[in-house]
Structure 1
Amino acid sequence: MKEATQKGWIGGIIAAIAASLCCIAPLLAIFGGLSGAATYFNWIAPYRPYLIGITVLVFAFAWYQQLVVTPKKEKDCCTPTSRSIWQSKKFLLIVTVFAAVLTAFPYYSALFYKAPPKTTAVALQSNFKSIRLNIKGMGCADCTKHIDGSLMSLNGVTSSNTSFEKAQTIVQYDPDKTNADSIDHKIKEIGYQPTLIKQN
């Protein structure tokens, strides 16, 4: 039973990692240089609620075993069984907290991404151009901050407006300082997959 419990919380950790992969993947692109990493895992996003549910159930069962079943068996048995560190409450608590931190990652993921600077609205000048792109790989709304912040760091980009709901971004830029290829490359560099919709 103890081995089954251990396998259970290992499964819970895997479920927690899977539930947050849609937002962790862009970090792989930033720190690991894995261009397009987000697109490898964006199919997981619709299953996130189910993976969270599995994680909660697995750890609820593990704590039930730890707090109810195991003490009852030890009480009924003549000689208490010795527990390894892997079977202790302390270790289960550490693993539970780790799973909770992973599961909640999309809610604090923006801390790791460059937020777009606060700027005043820039009027569209006659020589400025704009580009509309479809974006694949966004797993949560905070991905928009990641994209907009990174694009605004490009010299010549005057505005970037990304919509999670539409899976699109509209970028205004000065063609004398940058171009559509540089914008496309930057989005790929941070882990997403852009597709041109319209260019003015």
Structure 2
Amino acid sequence: MNLGTSEVITILGTISFAMSGTFSAMQKRLDPFGILIIAFVTAIGGGTVRDLLLGDTPVAWMRDIQTCLIILFTSIGAILFKTQVKKFKVTLFLFDSLGLGLFTVLGLQKGINFGLAPGICIALGTITGCFGGIIRDTLLNTIPLIFRKEIYATVCIAGGLLYYLLAFLKVDLTLIKLIVIAFIFVLRIIVVKYKLTLPKLVY
């Protein structure tokens, strides 16, 4: 079976966020069933919200059993090999950052396919990238990253703006996707490493 760029991005994004959800749940010492649930909502949460907003139902994961199987096997694999992963926090961060880039591009592209305005497409990309993490953190009784001082959604927005800049410059579409994914991934690492934050509003 020949997979297109979007299909590969979907698979990699699903794996990344399933791993992110699994490691978050293991940090909270959930049982295996709880871990699977958190992995599932992390991987499909953003895409589900996006599809519901677009009226594209049944939502993507309900039309393709492959997505559910990828999440299931990814989560089980992470549980089985957890002893090989010594630093959950670092692993969670890397998979979360990669998933953020992959799913932001997916959301952007879907908005474009629906013929929506650039601002709306960037919003859809941000929703696709962020909302799985919001649902994950809420279920784990943690303040979602997007609501903390750490820059999170802003990275998605910056990636969306770069996407349209490269499209305006007529860069090849596949190359645009790869550049934007790498940009979001690297920018998020830089933001966290140097503790960059948005300015606080003082009242």
Decide which structure has the larger Cα Rg and report it: 1
TM-score interval, smaller chain? under 0.3
Structure with a larger share of its residues in strand: 1
TM-score, normalising length from structure 2?
A: 0.27
Structure with a larger share of its residues in helix: 2
